[in-house]
Amino acid sequence: MVLTKTADDISSMRIRGAGRIARTAAGALQEYGTSLDCDTLAAFVREMENAADILCGTRPTAVSLPNAVRFVMQGVQGSTTLEEAQGALNKRAVEFIRDSLAAVGKIAEIAARQIPDDAVIMTHCNSEAAIACIIRAHELGKVREVYATEVRPRNQGYITIQMLSDAGIPVNFIVDSAARMFMPKVDLVITGTDAVTANGAVVNKIGTSQIALCAHEARKPFIVAAETYKFAPRTILGERIPIEYRPIEEVIGSERQLPAGVVVKNPAFDVTPPAYVDLIVTEIGAFAPSYAPFVIRDHLGWDTSEFQKDYA
């Protein structure tokens, strides 16, 4: 079944990166809804809610996933007839995917203005939003070279260096632990994000916070490229972003024997405090991390009374 396959592709990271995960989930909901043969609105909503739960359970950290699912499902849940629900599902899925892709272009345009001429840029992990910013700056003739990290244990850095090389950008490929050594050579750091919390903290690939710390120490701007659907509404009520821990085989490989009692830990993400983030660039503008609650309240349109009932 397409839905189960998509869920598996996301949890196994064949589909990865917060934006792509979100668009894939929206598309999977649309496809699943189209394949359903329900007689009543209630049955359709029930099936769709189950599908939404399956998708949201695949990766816990990227808030883009529940935000995308919620956006699409609002159309289904707010309908009064089966036909209306099916129409709303299609419309909202198409809208989400279109706006998500457009957001990346707008972010790139805004962020490129922040990049000085002859810039040396560091990036971490593989973020389509961050890479779009670098490529746009390169098109404007502003990029001298990029330092891209390897990103242990899943090595997303290889995808990044391929994308940058394909765009004709000179790349230095470094191991994650070399970030501080090369920080004096860079003008700024750009990463993407899986979630921005209400206090402006940035949750991104493990190692991001170390790089942000190094950038802070070296007085280099740390810029985050974030579509507004990467902001985490429920953090307004104090909820924390769950950090995904992945299988230890990703770190040690299946063949390596460890001494008895050694515990391997493999967190996939970490949290960069707002104090180390200079600018968050979204499709609605570039601002300080302290603006995060306003994005959640005013732009995402989350009314806290909507989920107050969970805490009643």
Count CB-CB contacts under 10 A for residue 215: 25
155: which DSSP letter?
T
Q: Which of 37, 53, 194, 303 is catalytic?
A: 194
Of residues 62 and 76, the one with the C-beta less far from ligand RUB: 62
Q: How far is the CB of 312 from ligand RUB (least distance, A)?
A: 33
Confirm or reject binding of residue 192 to ligand RUB (CB under 6 A): yes
Q: Which of 37, 53, 99, 125 is catalytic?
A: 125
Sequence-distant (≥ 6) Cβ neighbours of residue 179 within 8 angstroms: 122, 124, 147, 149, 207, 210, 211, 214
Q: 284-295: string of b/e by CB count within 10 Å (b at 16+)?
A: eebeebebbbeb
Confirm or reject binding of residue 160 to ligand RUB (CB under 6 A): no
Active site residue 38: no
Q: How far apart are CA 267 and CA 149, in angstroms?
A: 17
Report whether 60 contacts 244 (CB < 8 A).
Answer: yes
**Which of 142, 205, 220, 234 touches ligand RUB by CB under 6 A?**
205
Of residues 16 and 220, the one with the C-beta less far from ligand RUB: 16
The H-or-E segment that residue 195 falls in is strand 195-196
**Which of 3, 7, 18, 112 touches ligand RUB by CB under 6 A?**
18
Pairing state of beta strands 195-196 and 202-205? antiparallel
Confirm or reject binding of residue 268 to ligand RUB (CB under 6 A): yes
Active site residue 194: yes
Candidate ranges 68-76, 124-132, 162-170, 172-180; the one touching ligand RUB (CB under 6 A): 124-132
- How many residues belong to the chain? 312
Residue owning tokens 């995960």: 21
Binding mask 59-98 for ligand RUB (x = CB under 6 A): ---x------------------------------------
Q: What tokens does 42 get?
A: 């209630």
Q: How far is the CB of 249 from ligand RUB (least distance, A)?
A: 15
Task: Please tell me the count of residues contacting ligand RUB according to CB under 6 A.
Answer: 18
Q: How far apart are CA 182 and CA 214, in angstroms?
A: 10
Which residues have a catalytic role annotated? Answer: 125, 194
Binding site for ligand RUB (CB under 6 A): 16-20, 62, 125, 127-129, 156, 191-194, 204-205, 268
